[in-house]
Amino acid sequence: MAGKTNSVIIVESPTKAKTIGVFLGNKFKVLSSYGHVRDLPKSSLGIDPEDNFKIKYVIPTKARKNVNLLKKEVAKADLVYIATDPDREGEAIAWHLIEILNLGKDKDYQRIAFHEITEKAIEQAIKKPNFLDINLVNAQQARRALDRIVGYKLSPLLWKKIARRLSAGRVQSVALKLIVEREREINSFKQEEYWSITGLFDKNLEADLAKIKGKKLEKQDIRSKEEARGIIEELKDKKYEVRKTEKKVVRRTPLPPFTTSTLQQEASKRLGFPSSLTMRTAQELYEKGRITYHRTDSFNLSGQSLLGAKNFIEKQFGKNYSLDNPRRFKTKKRAQEAHEAIRPTDVWSELNLEERQAKLYKLIWTRFVACQMKEAVFDSVKIEVDSKEKDSFWATGSQMKFDGFLKIYPMKFEEREIPQLEKGESLELKELKPFQHFTKPKARYNEASLIKELENNEIGRPSTYAPIIFTIQKRNYVQKNQERRFEPTETGFAVNDLLAEHFPEIVEVKFTAEMEKDLDEIAAGKKDWVKLLQDFYFPFEKKLAQKYQEVEKKPLEQKPTGKNCPKCGKPLLIKRSRYGEFLACSGFPECRHTESLEEKNKKTGIICPQCEQGEIIVRRTKKGKGFFGCSNWPQCDFASWYKPTGERCPQCNSLLVEKNKKIKCSDKNCNFVKK
């Protein structure tokens, strides 16, 4: 491989450095920056609006030792390669490294980038180095500055008007608004009754009533049981015959390879992975050289990977599963075409991964291979059965003819067998069955549906979805219920309502989406990042000053408990913080006594299996994450992430818990699942 023996390559993570080091041997010294080497200061805004928004960067305390090591190694090198990730964040880290190491001044350097950590990709990158893209750097700086301005300036207003320790975020506040609005839709939803009617005919045909006297029935046209009975009385004695049969071949095309967003959604649905776990695991797989770069919104696939998939499919499944020409997918306008979709670096590689990594890798692998397999083919049949008065029943069904890509990537396609009938064939109506239904509100967001909504509204970037979801939970603005769906807390409602009323532009979906487009234009070199900050900051600062005077203080409600403080005797109150509810003395700040709160609706009624005295209740970690613990804590330290059932495992006598909608043994070494 080309390169000087005393050249240095700098990447972000030690795992990535280790993987690259295996490929390069002793020809290069591969070092890690351990992430960001500079950031905004914690104790001040760090941005000077009066000096063209000059940003004050500092080296974090935890990074100083490693920065000094990098300086020493760079001083001994003839040439430095900066090989940080190929996106805005990676480009910004590269720029910071260049700045603090005086590269280009005291030392020659080259910027190299690759989308997969393989020997061939690294070799090609070293042969064809690029230049630092300052437009990507400026886009990252603009985003960081906007987020700092909103958080640093707006959070103190929340402290003053609602409660201490609250904070606002530019994009997180939009996600919170979506969850709050959905909750209010659910709360105001009025359930409505409706009915459907199914006809059971001879010759084993079951069909749904679709028309009455030629008029098509809409979903909620039959509003009561009485209406359904009246229709049944009209239809039950009529003569029926097959008016129409339609037979056609339906082809189901595989989904495209994963982008960051779709990977997070599918890993949530199929594996139950939170978005943060998906991103962390994908990062590990990328750094081990198993998958291509995992922060991407492109469906693009390299010619080499397509050829590899074709060869694999033909050898493993046969040519009847392989495509004559590669299937390509159209990428969205905002995506960076130079990037690839997320795919395995080698479709033939054998697994040697931890269980969590193996699960995600298999999901990525099967999605990639499936997207280059032939369509699944179904025989579809539709039968219409009519009376002379044009009362019509419809039956549809399909049966798989060829599994195609479904052979390795199962999806839910309902199969239903329909009897073979001919047009004009008479049928005897055996029975009419009415079925009661009720309208349902939209479901609360889970991680997958929230990410999809953010993406559809062009809010944030794929790499920011996991931090957004993590942050609104950490701040106790939303919590996950037992169905793993988001519900806003009282604090979340209060913060959202204040922002929505007084700073609608901060939580407005369209405004935030437009800001994302502006950041994209900065990245493309079409917009000035300082001008963007000027246009946002000065009107925002003026409005903020007004709101300090205008906004009425609405602290979170403090409820009396009827109990007195054990220290000073004054009444105890239920107070709220970012971590949830707790008991506190009304004599604060003179008396600072606090206690944890065990709410009645958080009790499970299950006796603690450890001490057999306390009750299992829902508790919360300091970061707001729920878990199940004993009410006798700290005397009893029983804790479980999963809800105990109160039953014991018949195989090993361990506790049975509710996990992934199943009742399983809590012992990892026991495979018992209750039927």
Enzyme catalytic residues: 293
CA pair distance 11, 18, nearest whole angstrom:
10
Q: Is 37 exposed, middle or buried (0-12, 13-18, 19+ CB in 10 A)?
A: buried
Helix (H, G, I), strand (E, B) or coil at 24: helix
Give the helix, strand, coil percentages of the chain, each rounded to 5: 35, 25, 40
Amino acid symbol at 511: F
Helical residues (DSSP H) of 390-489, grouped into ranges: 447-456, 465-474
Contacts 24+ apart (CB under 8 A), 27-36: 27/1, 27/3, 28/3, 28/81, 29/73, 29/77, 31/69, 31/70, 31/73, 32/66, 33/66, 33/70, 33/84, 33/93, 33/97, 34/63, 34/66, 35/63, 35/93, 36/60, 36/63, 36/93, 36/96
Burial (Cβ within 10 Å: 0-12, 13-18, ≥19) of residue 200 = middle
Cis amide linkage into residue 589, ω under 30° from 0? yes
How many angstroms separate the Cα of 527 from the Cα of each of 468, 518, 523, 642? 26, 7, 8, 50
The dihedral region occupied by 525, where left means phi > 0, alpha psi between -120 and 50, and beta the remainder, is left
- 3-state class (DSSP) for residue 427: strand
Vertex 294 angle, CA 292 and 296, to 5°? 105
Nearest alpha-carbon partner for 390 in 241, 214, 239: 214
Q: Is the dihedral of CA 532, 534, 540, 544 positive or negative?
A: positive
Q: Which residues pair with 209 in a beta bridge?
A: 393
Are 249 and 379 spatial neighbours (Cβ–Cβ below 8 Å)? Answer: yes
HSE-CB of 172 using CA atoms within 13 angstroms: 25
Total residues belonging to the chain: 675
Q: What is residue 421's three-state secondary structure?
A: coil
Q: Identify which of 364, 372, 366, 357 has the alpha carbon closest to the alpha carbon of residue 296.
A: 364
